[in-house]
Chains A and B, each alone.
Chain A
Amino acid sequence: DIPDALCERDKVKFTVHTKTTLSSFQKPDFSVPRQHEDFIWLHDTLVETEDYAGLIIPPAPPKPDFESPREKMHKLGEGEATMTKEEYTKMKQELEAEYLAVFKKTVQVHEVFLQRLSSHPVLSKDRNFQIFLEYDQDLSVRRKNAKEMFGGFFKNMVKSADEVLIAGVKEVDDFFEQEKTFLLDYFSKIKEATAKAEKMTRSHKNIADDYIRLSATLNSLSAEESTNYYFIKFCLKLFQNFLCVCLKKVEGRVASDEELKLTELLRYYMRDIQAAKDLLYRRARALADYENSNKALDKARLKGKDVSQAEEHQKRCLQKFDTLSESGKKELTNFKARRVVAFRKNLVEMAELEVKHAKNNMTLLQGCIELLSGN
């Protein structure tokens, strides 16, 4: 099934549209409105479900961030007096485009989240997921109130402390050992790469903005030169203007495409890896539990009481650990394959787009040069 989503307004409302052939749903085709918080709720419940401890839960989509374009819009409004009319309209257009881009991005991210859930054999059967997709009315998800937030925060702290402790636990399985080191390393690298890529795309955007300003100034300059003696000059300016507008558009598009493909890719996988790390953590936790239970069992045997209880506990832990390990293995290999595929797709697309844009740029520029030298 394909959740398809559209949206608008201050609070981003997503329309999740599902088409399905699964019998577990009442209708084959339906849509429901959802808000970002609903997605978060879904994600959290999945994480908290014990049964899914052995699975990599797809990372929650980040909150839609309209901060940056909103800020710019504000600044633009303030600076309106200082800029010429044209410059103002151009920058406004640019802002609107940026707004749109952010919007598209966030829609995509949410969509991907749902799609991964639905394509996962186990998670797609989750009751909560189905409710999420089906429930007609507002889920009116109880937002985490302050206490729960604190609880969550505290849990995180405990978790990180725990991680440090567990790091000492000897890993029995080579596969997991490898994966762990790999993931940790990869995570740090990818985080850095994401940061740099972000900086790079931001610089690109700056350049696109510069081109706007440049074209506006050139426009007024060309208006200045008017008599037929300067006809040449005027033509020149006009073309330069045209060039800058298009150049700016293309550069802007380069920047946003680059961002979508490269930066987003990196960002997403950063989060995914975090989820994978979480899985590993859970497994390690289970292992530690198992070892602890072993120790407890031994102690109990020594003491001679509660032996059966301890045995039960130990057996349970072992079971848990085993299931975790198994599903973990599967998940991680899937993850690797998925990652490779995604990288490939995005890198190819990015390269193709870059080539396309560069070619566009070039034809534009060459056209301009011809016109200018012809004059």
Chain B
Amino acid sequence: MADSIRDPPAENTDFQELEDGEDLLSAAARESQPASLPAVDISTKSNGPKQESLFDEDTEDLFAEATEEVSLDSPERDVLLSEGPSPAITPITPPISVISPRIGHAHDDMFTHSSFDEIEEEEGGDSFDIHISVSDPEKVGDGMNAYMAYKVTTKTSVALFKQRDFSVKRRFSDFLGLHSKLASKYLHIGYIVPPAPEKSIVGMTKVKVGKEDQSSNEFVEKRRSALERYLMRTVKHPILLKDPDVLQFLESSELPRAVNTQALSSAGILRMVNKAAEAVNKMTIKMNESDAWFEEKQQHFENLDAQLRKLHASVECLVCHRKELSVNTAQFAKSAAMLGNSEDHTALSRALSQLAEVEEKIDQLHQDQANADFYLFSELLGDYVRLITAVKGVFDQRMKTWQKWQDSQMLLQKKREAEAKLQFTNKPDKLQQTKDEIKEEIEELEGKVQQGERDFEQISKTIRKEVSRFEKDRVKDFKMSIVKYLESLVQTQQQLIKYWEAFLPEAKAIS
């Protein structure tokens, strides 16, 4: 055992740097489970010595889990998680030393059952060993029953899956079905479930009717990339990845039709009613926020939401204008060409037609840039706006849990009072019976109250973890996208330079 412990650290130091130092822990832990884990490529990170303060938070949580075997069943997890954080551990340097107590337990775990945080770290790494792509939208069927089938291809070395590389065909309602199943399972215990792309009746109808034009193609393309992002986000989440529904979605070739995601079905209407009821509830619940962290976070998310929405609107404006620019440039190119034609001075005429060509190329360039603007920037922002709504939903869940807890507490109080009252009445024969009844009820309620309390604490904990994970991901995501976007801008400028420099000698040649 000691040997195996020593090995992982040695290996890890070779690896490239990583932002989350915790990855080391998971990597090490997993390495202790020998052959079954092909995910060696994940542990291509070394112990990043410069830890961010985040590391602290997470290591503590990590160690809370360290001594348990956690399975996917919530009740069990409740029990386990509610135990306090184990050995006080000096935060940063000793990931290695901490491994020792863990390995004892961890090595028995099946990969699928090891601690939540472990999986979190390994999936949180840069070299993600699962990659999903959505491609080849095809139209299946005809008329109003037509739908687009997308090919979902998964490439992975995660052991959860039976193969390394496989693909299935799915349609949009399948995605929605997956989301609703995940939401019903996880939302109320505090996990942030990524929201699915929205249904668009207009867009789909156009596609169904068979209009083969630009806008419906764009619509399909938008939807395709949205679905891809959705799936990637879902599998990035460590717990969701292990969910059997997700696995089934990715693997099985036939999926039962998720009928209740249709817009006009009874389930749909039920959903809408529920949503309205929830909104009302939200306004009436006044929660005693005992934890400043939550209040702060909520505020933060509200602000972030507002800002992102504004940003999103501006970026959409930008996309729109750039598209306009490209259209105008194309028109100008045409008229410049005509001008060149009617010009009788040959050199000038040639220069003018060159100008026309340059402008035409530039127009194409602008269009591409507009696309990049859109997909890299605008969609990212849109996604995050929706994600933040999901985050807020999670906070709301917490409030609901609190409410339930308070309710059962109040009920308990009432029953206790009833019991006390009974003590003072004088009906001997009934007394014993009712007393017993009330005692039973009280016990039941006490159990409920405790459960409520535990639920509440657990959801709070989960939310904390989720939020920090979310924030981490957000930063990475944004950074990546922004860098990509800037690179696209650079490319555009480079092309511009090329074109204008090519034009310059022509212009100079006019004599």
Please say whether chains A and B are actual partners in one complex. Answer: yes
- A: residues with CB less than 8 A from B are 182, 185-186, 189-190, 192-193, 195-197, 199-200, 202-204, 206-207, 210-211, 213-214, 217-218, 220-221, 224, 228-230, 232-233, 236, 240, 243, 247, 336, 340, 343-344, 347-348, 351-352, 354-355, 358-359, 361-362, 365-366, 368-369, 372-373, 375
Contacts of A221 in B (CB 8 A): 304, 307-308, 311
User: Is the interface on chain B under 10, 10 to 19, 20 to 34, or 35 or more residues?
Assistant: 35 or more
Contacts of A193 in B (CB 8 A): 332, 335-336, 338-339
Contacts of B417 in A (CB 8 A): none
Which of the candidate stretches B140-148, B224-232, B483-491 sits at the interface with the other chain? B483-491
Contacts of B503 in A (CB 8 A): 351
Chain B residue nearest to A214 (CB atoms) is B314
Q: How far is the CB of B255 from chain A (nearest CB, A)?
A: 39
Chain B residue nearest to A221 (CB atoms) is B307
Contacts of A214 in B (CB 8 A): 311, 314-315, 318
Q: How far is the CB of A136 from chain B (nearest CB, A)?
A: 43
Q: Interface 1/0s, chain B 456-492, versus A by CB < 8 A?
A: 0000000000000001000100110011001101100
Chain B residue nearest to A188 (CB atoms) is B342
The reply on B54 being an interface residue by CB < 8 A is yes
Q: Which of B315-349 contact A (CB under 8 A)?
A: 315, 317-318, 321-322, 324-325, 328-329, 331-332, 334-336, 338-339, 341-345, 347-348
Q: What separation, in Å, do the CA atoms of A362 and B486 have in the docked complex? A: 10
Q: How far is the CB of B359 from chain A (nearest CB, A)?
A: 8
Contacts of A336 in B (CB 8 A): 345
Q: Which of B294-310 contact A (CB under 8 A)?
A: 300, 303-304, 307-308, 310
Contact of A213 among B314, B331, B341, B483 (CB under 8 A): B314
Chain B residue nearest to A207 (CB atoms) is B321
Q: How far is the CB of A364 from chain B (nearest CB, A)?
A: 9
Contact of B343 among A186, A204, A233 (CB under 8 A): A186
The reply on B507 being an interface residue by CB < 8 A is yes
Chain B residue nearest to A212 (CB atoms) is B314
With contacts A207-B322, A214-B318, A348-B508 taken as known, whether A236 is within 8 angstroms of B478 at the C-beta atoms is: yes
Q: What separation, in Å, do the CA atoms of A6 and B503 have in the docked complex? A: 35
Q: Could you pull out 13 A-B pairs where Cβ atoms are within 8 angstroms? A: A182-B344, A200-B328, A200-B329, A203-B321, A206-B325, A229-B54, A247-B489, A343-B351, A344-B508, A355-B501, A355-B504, A358-B500, A369-B487
Contacts of B336 in A (CB 8 A): 193, 196
Contact of A240 among B342, B482, B510, B511 (CB under 8 A): B482
Q: Is the CB of B493 within 8 A of A243?
A: no
Closest 4 CB pairs of A and B: A203-B325, A196-B332, A344-B510, A347-B507
Q: Is the CB of B351 within 8 A of A344?
A: yes
Q: What separation, in Å, do the CA atoms of A359 and B497 have in the docked complex? A: 7
Q: What separation, in Å, do the CA atoms of A351 and B504 have in the docked complex? A: 6
Q: What separation, in Å, do the CA atoms of A236 and B311 have in the docked complex? A: 15
Q: Is the CB of B479 within 8 A of A232?
A: yes
Q: What separation, in Å, do the CA atoms of A230 and B52 have in the docked complex? A: 10
Q: How far is the CB of B236 from chain A (nearest CB, A)?
A: 19
Q: How far is the CB of A213 from chain B (nearest CB, A)?
A: 5
Known: A365-B489, A372-B482. 6 other contacts (CB 8 A): A185-B342, A197-B332, A210-B314, A224-B304, A233-B478, A351-B503
Q: Is the CB of A210 within 8 A of B332?
A: no
Q: Is the CB of A358 within 8 A of B496?
A: yes
With contacts A210-B314, A372-B483 taken as known, whether A228 is within 8 angstroms of B507 at the C-beta atoms is: no
The reply on B494 being an interface residue by CB < 8 A is yes
